[in-house]
Amino acid sequence: MTESAPPPVTYDVHPSIAYVAAMVSNLKEKTGKSLDEWSDLIHSEQPLDPKAWLASRGLGTQQAGLVLRRATAARGHAFADTPAGYLASAPGYVEAQYGGRRALLRPLFERLTTLARSLGPDVKVCPCETMVAFYRHHVFAQVKPFASRLDLGLALSDPATVEDPSGRLKDTGGFKKRDRITHKLEITSEAELGTASPWLKVAYERDRH
């Protein structure tokens, strides 16, 4: 019997996209003009201080930033897109991350994705240009490839509350900087996924709200 191929890795809309999409859809109701209408007005009025000009018309900081990105045709970051556009781009982000020598790490990445998905139906897998994040309510883990290893970043909070008898878990310094990702595991082989799996579960379970 021919062994069936594993199902393709699927991705989810990054929370930043959902936030931007909601802001765009609500802009006319909240400010009286759509995103394109505000952008056109910026071009016609050409205020010396566009941010202050928009603020004087009742736009908040995030709304004004969105308008200015559209008016200047500059994408603010990789996620400044529609949900459909993001999902179309997501596979390309992963292909670029695992090109060349790093292609050998792709199976490890896909196994980590499967492990993350198995934690619960609320897990979201969201690629960006340099890494892939796993979300529940917030990002609880992320995978970033290097030349010969994967770094699995984990949101485990205060290192003082984390005990790791194996000594493989590394403090990233993120807790002191108030970053979500506070620890990491370096993964170079399938065998090391056994160490990663329980820590993924801990990070997932700590992201309850």
pLDDT tens-place string over residues 111-167: 999 999 999 999 999 999 899 999 999 999 999 999 999 999 999 999 999 999 888
Within a domain: 54: yes
- Which of 56, 71, 86 terminates a domain? The answer is 71
Structure tokens at 82: 């529609």
Same domain membership, residue 170 and residue 132: yes
Q: How far apart are CA 32 and CA 50, in angstroms?
A: 17
pLDDT tens-place string over residues 44-55: 999 999 999 999
Same domain membership, residue 182 and residue 116: yes
Within a domain: 10: no
58-82 average pLDDT score = 75
Is the pLDDT at 1 greater than 90? The verdict is no
Within a domain: 79: no
14-36 average pLDDT score = 89
pLDDT band for position 20 (cuts 50, 70, 90): confident
Centre a 10 Å sphere on the Cβ of residue 148 and count the other Cβ atoms it contains: 11
Cβ contact 151:169 at 8 Å: no
Same domain membership, residue 181 and residue 109: yes
Cβ contact 137:130 at 8 Å: no
Same domain membership, residue 183 and residue 144: yes
CA dihedral 78, 158, 147, 76 (to 10 degrees): 10
Within a domain: 42: yes
Same domain membership, residue 106 and residue 47: no
Q: Which residues pair with 127 in a beta bridge?
A: 132
Q: How many domains does the chain have?
A: 2
Range of the domain at 21: 15-71
Structure tokens at 8: 């393709």
Within a domain: 122: yes
pLDDT band for position 8 (cuts 50, 70, 90): low
pLDDT at 130: 94
Write down the mean pLDDT value for the chain.
89
Within a domain: 7: no
Structure tokens at 87: 């999902």
Percent of the chain with pLDDT over 90: 71
pLDDT band for position 78 (cuts 50, 70, 90): very low
- Which of 71, 91, 119 terminates a domain? The answer is 71
pLDDT band for position 7 (cuts 50, 70, 90): low
Same domain membership, residue 202 and residue 118: yes
Same domain membership, residue 138 and residue 181: yes
Same domain membership, residue 42 and residue 108: no
